[in-house]
Chains A and B, each alone.
Chain A
Amino acid sequence: MMTNTGYPKELDKFYEQLRVYCGDILADTFITRKIYQYGQSDESAYIEKLRTDLYLYFRIFLDDEEIDGLMKTLEGEG
């Protein structure tokens, strides 16, 4: 299901939160690229892969608390 941002529902909040950290353009290109990269057929698959990205790469520019916040958003608790 798509929302008004154009992204699947599961990524909608994640996108909103990510744009606070890296701006509209980078958040937008990042999410679009990831959806394309991981494929849209199985939504749970790219959410799973985004979780791995969070732990591996987001540490370059986000603190642990911020990563936890994004993680909760992905899990639907945020």
Chain B
Amino acid sequence: MEICFECGIPIIISRNFEWSIDGQILKRHSPNRYVVIDCDQLRTLYELFTFLDGPRAATIICEARRKAMAVEIRDVLGDIIIRSHFYPSRSILGKLQLFFKAFGYGDLRLKNYDINGTSVIEFHNPHFQPFAEAEVKAIWEALEGTQAIVIQKVIRDSCIVFTLESAEEGRKYRLRKKLVKTSIPGKKPKAKELAGDKTCSTCGSPIEASRFTWNTKKGSIYDSVRERHVCLFNTQSLNELINDLMKHYDDKVNELILRAVKIYTRNLVKGSRILREMGTGSFLRSISIKGETLISGVEEDARGAELILENPWNIHFVSGEIAGWYEYIYNRRCETMLEERKENSWQLRVEKL
């Protein structure tokens, strides 16, 4: 994976993504929006739901991830996949590996891909272990057009070896279905222009995005400001995951996400000297660089703060992050109040309790 020498961002990222001035990371030539999220933040949410509802919640979350990932892989592989009727070529697998590494999902190695419908996939340094199985199944689903079952799973240190087989009976020795290119439905958001004049003169990415360090061998991304490993996620797939949770557990899911993210952020700030010394303006700017939202107005008074959030990828998640910051700053618990001003624009009030 080629990396820009000036800012350290992989060329594949700067070529395919743009940081718009309205606080979004958009994929070029695609309706998809992306967001950078801490792997630990994802783990916290996973632990929260599995703690409350046990393995059922784990299945809901992982299945939602599998479905979204299969669509995303087809979108990433694009035209190559349509031409492959029989078995995936080297170029497909190479592209898949690059996609996983660039997004910080881990290092994927395909050890065996048999014509009789069995494959062995090694997944080194997965960004989030519970998702590894879902993601590997999604690869099969995207390439083969059928669901897969994991017949063997071996965990060795930071590597998981999966042996997969088609879930469809009598699948062996049959020609694989022709796959049709699909993309996640949705309107392509209008990107205004790249973030200001502070862009890398070599690759055009915002210079502030150089805080992310790509480990091209391991396939991980490190956020040097938050001192956490992060991943690039499709916002639509994350929102679908949250919607799936809401179908099972009603609207309280949003409140739980807000609470968990708030406590996570408060503890993150408490434990990080870099964040503590950052100041509110820089912290809010750091959220925008992650593609979460654009904060267009901040007013602080004796009782709290009022912010205008434009294009938040998920208003409850973003509000949780901001409330967590203010809870640390005020050193007391805060209440959050949300009001939708117009489409994709919210007013957030964080008030001391």
Report the contact-size class of chain B (Cβ under 8 Å from the partner). Answer: 20 to 34
- Chain B residues positioned under 8 Å from A30 (CB to CB): 52-53
B252 touching A23 by the CB < 8 A rule? Answer: yes
A25 touching B47 by the CB < 8 A rule? Answer: no
Interface residues of A in 14-43 (CB under 8 A from B): 21-26, 29-30, 33
Other-chain contact of A65, B47, B260, B333 (Cβ < 8 Å): B333
B53 touching A26 by the CB < 8 A rule? Answer: yes
Asked if B44 lies at the interface with its beta carbon under 8 angstroms from chain A, I say yes
> Contact mask B244-272 → A, CB, 8 Å, 1/0?
00001111110110011001000000000
How many residues of A are in contact with the other chain, CB < 8 A?
17
A25 touching B249 by the CB < 8 A rule? Answer: yes
B53 touching A29 by the CB < 8 A rule? Answer: yes
Asked if B51 lies at the interface with its beta carbon under 8 angstroms from chain A, I say yes
B263 touching A61 by the CB < 8 A rule? Answer: yes
If the complex has contacts A59-B263, A61-B263, are A22 and B51 also in contact, measured as CB distance less than 8 A?
A: no
Determine how close the nearest CB of chain B comes to the CB of A59; give it in whole angstroms.
7
> Contact mask B307-341 → A, CB, 8 Å, 1/0?
00000000000000000000000000100000000
CA of A63 to CA of B264 in the docked complex: distance in angstroms?
Answer: 11
B252 touching A26 by the CB < 8 A rule? Answer: yes
Determine how close the nearest CB of chain A comes to the CB of B41; give it in whole angstroms.
11
Asked if A1 lies at the interface with its beta carbon under 8 angstroms from chain B, I say no
A60 touching B260 by the CB < 8 A rule? Answer: yes
- Chain A residues positioned under 8 Å from B251 (CB to CB): 23
B252 touching A60 by the CB < 8 A rule? Answer: no
Which residue of chain A has its CB nearest to the CB of B259? A61
**Residues of B at under 8 Å CB distance from A?**
44, 47-48, 51-54, 56, 248-253, 255-256, 259-260, 263, 333
Known A-B contacts: A21-B259, A26-B52, A60-B51. Give 7 more (CB < 8 A): A23-B249, A23-B250, A23-B253, A23-B255, A26-B252, A30-B52, A60-B48
